[in-house]
Amino acid sequence: MPDAPERTTSTDEPRFRYTPALAQQIELRWQDLWEERGTFHAANPQGRLTGPGGSPAQGDPYFIMDMFPYPSGAGLHVGHPLGYIATDVTGRFRRMCGDNVLHALGYDAFGLPAEQYAVQTGQHPRVTTEANILNMRRQLRRLGLGHDPRRTFATIDPEYVRWTQWIFLQIFDSWYDADAERPGPAAGKGRARPIAELREELAAGTRPVPGHDGDNTGGAVWAGLSELERRDVIDGQRLAYVDSSPVNWCPGLGTVLANEEVTADGRSERGNFPVFQRNLRQWKMRITAYADRLADDLDLIDWPDKVKSMQRNWIGRSVGANVRFDVVGTADQDPAGAAGTLEVFTTRPDTLFGATFMVVAPEHPLLDEVPAAWPDGTRSAWTGGYETPAEAVAAYRREASAKTAVERQADAGKKTGVFTGHLAVNPVNGEQIPVFTADYVLMGYGTGAIMAVPGGDERDHAFAEAYDLPVVYTVEPEGGLPEGHTGAYAGEGVAVRSANDEISLNGLGVAEAKAAIIGWLESKNIGEGTTTYRLNDWLFSRQRYWGEPFPVVWDEDDRPVAIPDAMLPVDLPDVPDYAPRTFDPDDATSEPEAPLGRNDEWVNVTLDLGDGPRTYRRDTNTMPNWAGSCWYYLRYLDPAETTAPALAGLEQYWLGPRHNATSGPAGGVDLYVGGVEHAVLHLLYARFWHKVLLDLGHVTSLEPFGKLFNQGYIQAYAYTDSRGQYVPAAEVEGDEQSGYTWQGQPVNREYGKMGKSLKNVVTPDEMYEQYGADTFRVYEMSMGPLDLSRPWNTRDVVGSQRFLQRLWRNVVDEETG
């Protein structure tokens, strides 16, 4: 029982009433005691981290976690702690039930906003970030969260960076063996293996050399390669690799971005700047190798369906077939010979007999060379009015490349295109069909080329209608297509008009027909069943300062060399100017320039990496913000561990599939609470890293997060005056009926986020001061279900205050104490 507070006002309030002042006194006292006693220390089954008073681990392990915060300069508003309060309540409940609860909070401290804040304030990002973390710690401690304070860390801590870089090197030093059996619970085919094993197998000749024809028996092909060629083969197989392909270049941010960071209308998620496709040499991670496992293992985890479906959508698995069409030479070239082949991907190989033309993306390499003249039978509508295919194709390519993502979306449905002059041979019936280029076919998906079946696909049908191309229906529903049917028929049915001398699909259902035609294509070696994904490899390098440097140097042959583990971490150097080099947001021709490149002494180093001192160039990129958050859950197990990101025994105890089964058959964190905005970013990347670590034997759980819960957002009202300027929401008076006013003038109410610029921020500090942390916590938990978004109303908080007062009165006499 605390002493009665000094009376600070002249009221006649009872001495022992539960007032904000008394609440604060109680809260601070207990917060100090919890810290002193280590009340919320979670006990590891081994090692230095024991429970309160040195107690050993007892009860079922229960690992509960929040998506860790980004220490922004603005400090917290009342929306931020919502999830932390919820996990605290759950964690305390489980602890009371006898579980060994692990609950801690670290800080995700690299990244663009921290860097931008530092640039604005003219201070080094480390200075501002550390100050922000301190402020956030203070605000959160006052909330009274039952966290284990020994387990906190920030992603910018050099010891944390060491292990982030170490994991990067594990990925860099791995390749994906699609045929290898996975051991243990991950059973199936395909896993990451150390790159050294690839080299051994190539040298021994037990594996063909990728990208090189020829029989590698006894390592014959391998032996014929120079050391540089060998390194190129190896580097081409790594799970972290550098290559030059179209990437998202964002001049406004001065960096390239991952697909997941670009919105559907072609802008950066952060800053909303235009993003351009450019061929640039960048680091990527081979997440596509894990596409199937990332999709399939969603069945093993307890996540909201919404998030699962977003991930499935993003991965975008389609099962179908690749089919190769011969492209014939035209009259002026070589009328007899084939000019090449055109490979397409289709999910409906059963409709091959209905393919009456082909379409390739404007960027397709087939268009680099086109026939000199229009072939016989070319219709004027196909040529775009040009004299030659070359002119027509060039004009269309120009047009297409000038289109922005927004324009392209707006035009979706309207079909434009032009005949390329090429003719392809439909392998099932020998018919020569025209090859068009059109922007409704995307280079980034499948093979960038399709067989068009206007009888079975609405887009192809629209194109066929616009360019007067023949329509053949090869699938009909039971009872046939209705009289006068127009448009494509994409439904179930049986194959018709689908037979040649060797194979007949007629009468088969869609699934059987697919299987039959794939068998035939494979027997003729002109196609095979295959699976295509929408997911692309993860673009992993950024041209910014405030991130983890790549633990890689480049040798005199311009090949990447890993920094040995013993030399980690590679610290961020001091550079004269850490500001990113940004550009006119619309200037697509600008070139990225990494701030780390501004320090020649750092960039050019002499190192002894095992074969004597040599000079190298450091990699000047930094990792994306996601790197640190890809594995932080592992670091809570013991942030001071010096031999591994996390000890195997601890990982098994806290994350392994287990007994109380709260985390499900895949293991992972028992409860992970955070916003839905990371559905295809952090949550996909972290799953990918975890599976690589699993393959390499560093973890035993199949998934990092067994159960996920998305909390809603606390929203708020904001008010604008007649000029549209925001006015301080706290000073607005009135209600819905009588209208709202600020300083006597009427204002407009809007509903949305809480934010500085909207002048409607309410801070936890104000709540501690006016009501106490417990009232604040009760209010947030009683506003409504956690997964819903709802409005903050400061005046409603008093209800929770009265509730606690009533509770208090039931236990304590307000007059006597």
Residues that bind RNA (CB under 7 A): 11-13, 264, 304-306, 309-310, 313-314, 316, 318, 320, 345-348, 361, 408-409, 411-416, 439-448, 450, 457, 459, 462, 532, 534, 676, 735-736, 782-785, 788, 790-791, 793, 795-796, 798-803, 805-806
The answer to whether residues 75 and 136 touch, using CB atoms and an 8 Å cutoff, is: yes
**Residue of 66, 73, 67 lying closest to 135 (CA atoms):** 73
CA distances from 759 to 15, 270, 681, 730, 762 (A): 37, 21, 30, 8, 9
The answer to whether residues 731 and 761 touch, using CB atoms and an 8 Å cutoff, is: no
Bridge partners for 340 per DSSP = 327
- Cα 642–chain centre separation: 29
Determine the Cα–Cα distance for residues 327 and 387; give it in Å rounded to an integer. 21
Q: Which helix (DSSP H) or strand (DSSP E) does residue 471 occupy?
A: none
> Ramachandran region of residue 602, left (φ > 0), alpha (ψ -120 to 50) or beta?
alpha
Determine the Cα–Cα distance for residues 40 and 800; give it in Å rounded to an integer. 26
Determine the Cα–Cα distance for residues 738 and 601; give it in Å rounded to an integer. 68
- Side chain identity at 814, as an amino acid letter? E
Q: Which CB atom, from 577 or from 677, has the smaller least distance to RNA?
A: 677
Determine the Cα–Cα distance for residues 459 and 292; give it in Å rounded to an integer. 28
Determine the Cα–Cα distance for residues 186 and 462; give it in Å rounded to an integer. 45
Q: Which helix (DSSP H) or strand (DSSP E) does residue 34 occupy?
A: helix 20-37
Helix/strand/coil for 190:
strand
Smallest separation (angstroms) from RNA to the CB of 795: 5
Alpha helices, H only, 506-647: 510-523, 600-603, 626-629, 632-635
Helix/strand/coil for 764:
helix
Burial letters for 266-279: b for 16+ Cβ neighbours within 10 Å, e otherwise?
bbbbbeebbbbbbe
Helix/strand/coil for 151:
helix
Burial letters for 344-375: b for 16+ Cβ neighbours within 10 Å, e otherwise?
bbbebbbbbbbbbbbbbbbbbebbebbbebbb
Q: Is the peptide bond before 569 cis (omega within 30 degrees of 0)?
A: yes
- Given the DSSP bridges, would you call strands 61-66 and 671-674 parallel, antiparallel or unpaired? parallel
